[in-house]
Amino acid sequence: MNCKHPKGWICVQCGDPSQKHMARGLCAKCYQANYRRTFYKTRHFSSNRPCRICGTYPVTGLNLCKACYMKQYRKANRSRLYARKCQLREVDRFGGRRNEILKRADGKCERCGITEVENVTRTGKRLIIHHKDGNGLSSPNPNHSFDNLMLVCNSCHRKIHGEIGIREAS
């Protein structure tokens, strides 16, 4: 009876006669769904209660599903995660030498002398690390040497790239 359809058999849950009959009057699909629901509800979790935020069954001991737990974790650790993301980006862009360059330039633009604090209040952005020879992140052979990097503000950075464009065009 488990392998073949009984004559005139219909699943009591979904009403589909085409699925293979399993047990308790259910097709294979509905039987497995019910089994998973009871299995996860009773055996694998520290509590039988659903997630306290979204209502699905929890994965952690905090009565939270994995998605809700990660959402709360990211929210609570936003600044630490952002700092780590910035640190990894700086390693890719200029070898992680931002602090060294800031110290060498005394926290000021190397062309006009504006401080990073003044630049942030004026434009909302930090000072930029510029590659003098143009071999930065997009270059096939990036040059992140200490002598090749300079600290500039946004307006000076635009001027530098404007001057480079004029030189290359002529």
82 inside domain: no
Is residue 115 situated within a structural domain? yes
pLDDT at position 46 is 47
My answer on whether 101 and 161 are in the same domain is yes
Q: How far apart are CA 78 and CA 71, in angstroms?
A: 10
pLDDT tens, N- to C-terminus, the chain (170 residues): 445 556 667 777 787 777 776 676 778 778 777 776 665 555 444 456 778 888 777 666 777 888 888 898 899 999 898 888 888 888 878 788 888 888 999 999 999 999 989 988 998 888 988 888 877 777 788 788 888 899 999 999 999 888 876 555 44
Domain count, the chain: 2
120: domain CATH number is 3.40.1800
Residue 74 resides in a domain: no
Is 90 inside any structural domain?
no
Give the integer Cα–Cα distance in Å for 46 and 56.
14
Query: What local confidence, expressed as pLDDT, does residue 25 receive?
Result: 74
Q: CA distances (Å), 17 to each of 24, 31, 87, 138, in order? A: 14, 14, 59, 60
Kindly state whether residue 62 falls inside one of the protein's structural domains: no
Task: Classify residue 60: in a domain, yes or no.
Answer: no
Any idea what the Cα angle at residue 7 is, between residues 5 and 8, rounded to 5°? 100
Q: Which pLDDT does position 115 carry in this prediction?
A: 92
Q: Is residue 12 assigned to a domain?
A: yes
Query: 7 lies in which domain range?
Result: 1-44
How would DSSP label each residue in 22-62?
Answer: EETTEEHHHHHHHHHHHHHHHTSSS-SSPPTTT-SPPSSTT
CA dihedral 64, 70, 73, 78 (to 10 degrees): -150
Q: Cβ-count burial of 21 within 10 angstroms (0-12 exposed, 13-18 middle, 19+ buried)?
A: buried
Does 58 map to a domain? no
